[in-house]
Amino acid sequence: MSGAGTVLGREGEDELLRAALDAGAHVVLEGPPGTGKSTLLRAVAGGRDVPFFLVEGNAELTPARLVGHFDPAQVLAKGYVPDIFVDGPLVDALRTGGLLYVEEINRVPEETLNVLITVMSEGELAVPRLGVIKAEPGFRLVAAMNPFDAVGTARISAAVYDRTCRIAMDYQSAATEASIVALRERDDAVDPEWRDQVVELVRRTRAHADIRVGSSVRGAIDLVGIAARLGVSRGVPATDWHVGLDAALVSLSGRVRLLESCTRTAEQVVRELYEGVFGREPAAADDKTGDAPPGEA
């Protein structure tokens, strides 16, 4: 998705993020999965030449895992002395003036979130038995969240938004997503027209009436890759209708989230979308043609 320090289709967000960080702000990147949030921040961090610390937000991210801890074995021998403290990612970022990136911040427990709020407010962290750690110049916190994911998440408090700047990131254009898929192809380039149809299929998952959350561009990347391998194993082109359908079912059925009111399976919905882009199954179409009256086939 990126190259030479840039991210395809994210020039505007890149500029905004760099300006916000240069101004001393902490930032929340908000958008669906697969929109390049992590890729964008890594590109920006590389351009700033500062340490980069990644934290995965989940229910197991306790304050101790974020901040660090005293080595229990060393405590017995030496007591609570600074040199036996094992720095966590937050303390590492504070000491080095680095970028701390917290993925899925809306999955972080409230007590851990309160630690981050304090650091953003005060620019320092008080650690029991260790003392106060002040943020070195350059320290910034960037968090990411998917506003459409309601499972296992919590509503982000106003205290977080009050201490951060927010950059909204929606899906990129169809042309940009096609370029991203092309960059990720592992084999010889596939037919560009077929690739564009794959991207169109994935984009339609985001607007289907029965789908609550559609697939990101990762679905298109996997679909193209799986179709290429299936084509080789079956001795047919990757663009074969049945190869494409099987690849679509594998790549997309687990990525889409159906509405609770939907009575169909994800596989049925994906097949409907696939036929809408690539047409009906060739064998079925041939049978229908064979039943037509003479002269109308």
pLDDT the model gives residue 284: 56
β-bridge pairing 140-145 and 27-30: parallel
Domains in the chain, start-ordered, CATH in brackets? 2-168 (3.40.50.300), 174-284 (1.10.8.80)
Contact 278, 270 (CB under 8 A): no
Q: Using one digit for the tens of pLDDT, what is the confidence trace for 219-253?
A: 999 999 999 999 999 999 999 999 999 999 999 99
Angstrom CA distances, 211 to 3, 89, 214, 252, 256, stand at 33, 37, 6, 12, 7
Average pLDDT, the chain: 88
In this prediction, residues 147-157 reach a mean pLDDT of 60
pLDDT the model gives residue 97: 94
C-alpha span between 31 and 145 (Å, rounded): 6
* pTM of the predicted protein model: 0.80
Q: How confident is the model at residue 297 (pLDDT cuts 50, 70, 90)?
A: very low
pLDDT the model gives residue 34: 84
pLDDT the model gives residue 152: 47
In this prediction, residues 4-18 reach a mean pLDDT of 82
Comparing 280 with 161, the larger pLDDT belongs to 280
C-alpha span between 75 and 86 (Å, rounded): 12
Is the model's pLDDT at 295 over the cut of 80?
no
Q: How confident is the model at residue 147 (pLDDT cuts 50, 70, 90)?
A: confident
Q: What angle do CA 56, 161, 7 make, to 5 degrees?
A: 55
Angstrom CA distances, 183 to 55, 179, 230, 278, stand at 27, 6, 20, 23
In this prediction, residues 84-89 reach a mean pLDDT of 92
Is the model's pLDDT at 256 over the cut of 50?
yes
In this prediction, residues 44-66 reach a mean pLDDT of 90
Residue of 29, 41, 214 lying closest to 105 (CA atoms): 29
In this prediction, residues 84-106 reach a mean pLDDT of 94
Q: How confident is the model at residue 150 (pLDDT cuts 50, 70, 90)?
A: low
C-alpha span between 106 and 156 (Å, rounded): 6
Q: How many Cβ atoms sit within 10 Å of the Cβ of residue 227? A: 25
pLDDT the model gives residue 232: 93
DSSP H helical segments within 125-211, as ranges?
158-162, 174-184, 192-204
Is the model's pLDDT at 3 over the cut of 80?
no
Q: Using one digit for the tens of pLDDT, what is the confidence trace for 182-203?
A: 988 876 678 999 999 999 999 9
C-alpha span between 213 and 148 (Å, rounded): 7
Q: Kindly state the tokens that stand for 226.
A: 């799986």
Q: Using one digit for the tens of pLDDT, what is the confidence trace for 70-83?
A: 888 887 778 888 88
In this prediction, residues 6-25 reach a mean pLDDT of 91
pLDDT the model gives residue 292: 47
Is the model's pLDDT at 4 over the cut of 80?
no
Widest CA span of the chain, in angstroms?
95
Contact 231, 238 (CB under 8 A): yes
